[in-house]
Amino acid sequence: MPEKVSMPTDINTDMTTPSGTTAPPHASEAIDVAPRKSKGSWIALAIVAVLLVLGILWGIGARRADERQLAQTTRAGADLAVSVTHPIVTGQAGEIALPGNTQAFNDTPIYARTNGYLKKFFVDIGQHVAEGQLMAVIETPEVDQQLQVAQADLKSAQADLSLAETTAQRYQNLLKSDSVSKQETDVAVSGAAAKRASVEAAEANVRRLQQMQSFERIYAPFSGVVTARNTDIGDLIDAGSGSAQPKDLFRIAATGKLRVFVAVPEIYAPDIHDGDTATLTLDEYPGQQFIGHIARNSNSIDMASRTLNVEVDVDNPQGKLLPGAYVFAHFKLPQEQAKLSVPANALLFRAEGLRVALVSNGRVHLQPITIAKDNGATLQVGTGLTPDDQIILDPADSIAEGQPVRVVSHGAANGVPAR
């Protein structure tokens, strides 16, 4: 066999087989490539493993954070969110403001006292009239005719009386000479007396019809303002006392001085005295006050409303106050002993009595109280509270003793978050 010749490995020589194919690489090159491929695979596997471990750790941490958030939310939702306030110290000298209704000092409807037709009217709504001023004229043809008949009857009765008196005088003269009997004389004298009575009746009838005729002209009974006119020219007028539901022609109100009627709660009745000053305010006159005086009161408590009816008289020379207006009457109250006041929406009405819900160490305590005075929106507490107590506003009817609560800012109760 021919001897093999060794070729240097650093000489890049292409070796081909006799058939022209490429010869396989050198054995040392095959030995170097295998370790390099094995090392790269291990590095890739290590990176994947690290990423996998990091993903698992991140997932575990996120899950634990969600669990903590859920537990915190659950604990927060388990405690009732409430708004609280503290009792307010009240009782210094003050006043009460009560609603009242204004009325004209004199307010009357004007009716017709005779039947007929409205001929003319001289006043209308809103017009000021003076006492005795002519307001309207009514045509009364029937009354006019009746008056004429009555006057004619009166003249006839007067003529009969004159004849009867003359006859009686003659009989009395003849009786002196015994020319007539006593009986005949008495008959003549009695006849004259009867005729005299007939004349008096006729005169009374004439005066009555003249009075009815005077009702054709309607005059203002007092000075005031015409607040209503319920008739027009040509309307049929019925006498006020001649129908079951008479229709008034006008309505007059004296507004120079007004009466204000106020229903004062029974608890304030001892503080109301005749002659005391009362201040009136109206929404249409902001910042302006009208001074009145307590004129009288009913001296009795209305059993339906448990209030005392009080009348306040106020001068109204400029006419700013209108009859029927809604006003607030402010009454001064005497000095009171300092007491605690709570809002009315903090009360709980339970079978065992009146309660308020307090917050003590994060839990509810139902405290019994007594009410000294009801001021409407607020109530004065007699016993049961201290100025440092935290009172729950608008407590739920289901709130119970010892229930855990969470205090939030005012307006954030019932689970509404504070802003």
Query: What's the pLDDT score for residue 181?
Result: 85
Report the pLDDT averaged over residues 49-71. 81
Query: What's the pLDDT score for residue 297?
Result: 94
Query: What's the pLDDT score for residue 327?
Result: 95
- Name the E strands within 363-408: 363-368, 370-374, 378-383, 391-392, 405-408
Residue-wise pLDDT tens digits, 174-220: 888 888 888 888 888 898 899 899 999 999 999 998 888 888 899 99
With bands split at pLDDT 50, 70 and 90, how would you rate the model's confidence at 28? very low
Partnered with residue 257 across adjacent β-strands are 315
Report the pLDDT averaged over residues 335-354. 83
Higher pLDDT, 45 or 312: 312
**CB neighbours (10 Å) of residue 278?**
24
Residue-wise pLDDT tens digits, 117-161: 999 999 999 999 999 999 999 998 888 888 899 999 999 999 988
Query: Residue 265: is its pLDDT beyond 60?
Result: yes
* N residues, the chain: 419
Question: Helix or strand or coil: residue 153?
Answer: helix
Range 113-128 burial, b when 16+ CB lie within 10 A, else e:
bbbbebeebebeeeee
Query: What's the pLDDT score for residue 412?
Result: 37
Residue-wise pLDDT tens digits, 302-335: 999 999 999 999 999 988 999 999 999 999 887 6
Query: What's the pLDDT score for residue 225?
Result: 93
Report the pLDDT averaged over residues 325-347. 85
Among 84-93, 258-267, 307-316, the minimum mean pLDDT is found in: 84-93
Report the predicted TM-score, pTM, of the whole model to 2 decimal places.
0.53
Mean pLDDT, all residues of the chain: 82
Question: What proportion of the chain, given as a percentage, has pLDDT over 90?
Answer: 38
Between CA 383 and CA 369 the distance in angstroms is 6
Query: What's the pLDDT score for residue 338?
Result: 67
Contact 380, 90 (CB under 8 A): yes
Partnered with residue 79 across adjacent β-strands are none
Query: 412: alpha, beta or left, given left = phi > 0 and alpha = psi -120 to 50?
Result: alpha
The CA–CA distances, whole Å, from 260 to 98, 138, 301, 324, 326 equal: 11, 36, 18, 9, 9
| Residue that has been written with the tokens 């000294």 in this structure | 372
CA 125 to chain centre: 29
Query: What's the pLDDT score for residue 23?
Result: 46
Indicate the burial class of 69 (C-beta count within 10 angstroms; 0-12, 13-18, 19 or more).
exposed
